[in-house]
Amino acid sequence: MSTSDTDRATPASDTDRAGATPAAPVLELDNLVMHFGPVRAVDGVSMTIRRGSVVALVGESGSGKSTVGRCVVRLLEPSSGTVRLHGADISHLRRRALRPHRRDVSIVFQDPAGSLDPRLTVGSIVSEPLRLLRLTRGRTERERATTQALERVGLRTELADRYPHELSGGQRQRVSLARALVSSPSLLVADEPTSALDVSVQASVLNLLTDLQRDLGFACLFITHNLSAVEYLADEVAVVYLGTLVEHGPSAEIFATPKHPYTQALLSAAPVPDPVRQRRRSRVVLSGDIPSAIDPPSGCRFHTRCPIAVPMCAERVPELREVAGRRVACHLVSDEDEDGS
């Protein structure tokens, strides 16, 4: 490619999706570790999320997904490792030093009823970040931004005077989204944003999130235990098991040919609309529960439940290596393994 091609002004999203020039990193995690006393919730996670891209963080309950999300938005201070936002190390910043970064990263939680202050009106909830982060000048500007944020998530502006308990679950989650996006963050952490909602409204909230992401172009760390929900939403999938990454790469490749036995197991448990793919897919059934994060298994943490484990798996920790266009941590996936067999 010539220099002039590289320099040509192309809309960021086109360039990013075509993979011509990698977009700038928004978030970089480098060997992130979060221990709660003896509980090794997150044990060395490294990944990059680039501008405008959606990365799904998947894995069973207790694998450390929410803990990663909370470290990213600095609700938690990591035990070690680094969290970089637009290149700035925010891992250990204190309240005041964090403030300039707060507008850049937001989080939406699973349970909107628990995460919205019941004493505040919808309008105050949505406008609070503008006030706290001093992003608007004066009340009129704040009200205009709040109205716009409510309209963007499909809520009537009259709802601004209501309280959270007067709204439905779906409406409350829309309020959470409006609040999270009112500061125009470049990264949104969505922690199981639909799993506490009625099945009937889950799809509409997921569609809204997808539309907002496309329109506003923020990067997204989408935390979920439901792999099938992310196939069309995520550009990349990162699979965690007991606090470590086992596979990470482009969604299309991971869904077509999952390499790690744990990814294969998660995928074989998820229904696929395409019967041909469903038949081709290897069936791996997970037995037992995820082991305790207090005393994780030696070697490969997955070896106690892995259907293809060999003695070496209990002894040596597998490195996260580049294989077939993604990163995989498994001794038994070979470098030549390109066909998904």
Tell me the C-alpha distance between 54 and 221, whole Å.
Answer: 6
Closest distance of CB 88 from ligand ATP, Å:
24
Interacting positions 184-223 with ligand ATP (CB under 6 A): none
Q: Which helix (H) or strand (E) holds 164?
A: none
Considering only residues 258-297, where is the footprint of ligand ATP by CB under 6 A? Answer: 293
Contact 161, 121 (CB under 8 A): yes
- Please report how close the Cβ of residue 190 comes to ligand ATP at its closest, in angstroms: 13
**Using the rule CB under 6 A, is 41 a contact of ligand ATP?**
yes
DSSP letters, 230-275, are: GTTT-SEEEEEETTEEEEEEEHHHHHHS--SHHHHHHHHHS--S-H
* Only segment of 33-41, 86-94, 169-177, 205-213 that touches ligand ATP (CB under 6 A): 33-41
Q: Does 299 bind ligand ATP (CB under 6 A)?
A: no
Binder of ligand ATP out of 84, 86, 162, 225 (CB under 6 A): 225
Residue keyed to tokens 């979920």? 224
Sole window of 9-17, 65-73, 246-254, 275-283 interacting with ligand ATP (rule: CB under 6 A): 65-73
CB of 258 to ligand ATP, least distance (A): 19
* Alpha carbon distance 90, 1 (integer Å): 36
| Window contacting ligand ATP (CB under 6 A); options: 7-15, 57-65, 259-267, 314-322 | 57-65
DSSP 146: H
Binding to ligand ATP by residue 36, rule CB under 6 A?
Answer: yes
Q: What is the closest distance, in whole angstroms, from the C-beta atom of residue 59 to ligand ATP in the complex?
A: 6
One residue of 45, 50, 62, 254 binding ligand ATP per CB under 6 A = 62
| Residue closer to ligand ATP, measured from CB, 189 or 313 | 189
Nearer to ligand ATP by C-beta: 123 or 296?
Answer: 296
Of 15, 63, 91, 136, the residue at the interface with ligand ATP (CB under 6 A) is 63
Q: How far is CA 18 from CA 13, 22, 28, 46, 288, in A?
A: 8, 9, 21, 24, 41
Q: Are 204 and 170 in contact (CB under 8 A)?
A: yes
| Residue 12 touching ligand ATP (CB under 6 A) | no
CB atoms within 10 A of CB 103: 18
Residue that the structure tokens 């760390």 belong to: 221
Distances (CA, A) of 281 to 196, 259, 271, 336, 341: 30, 11, 11, 20, 10
Assign 3-class secondary structure to 74-133.
Answer: CCCCCCEEEEEECCEECCCCCHHHHHHHHCCEEEECCCHHHHCCCCCCHHHHHHHHHHHC
Q: Which of 15, 66, 244, 263 binds ligand ATP (CB under 6 A)?
A: 66
* Of 18-26, 35-43, 78-86, 322-330: span binding ligand ATP (CB under 6 A): 35-43
Which of 67, 91, 244, 263: binder of ligand ATP (CB under 6 A)? 67
- Interface residues with ligand ATP (CB under 6 A) are 36, 39, 41, 59, 61-67, 225, 293
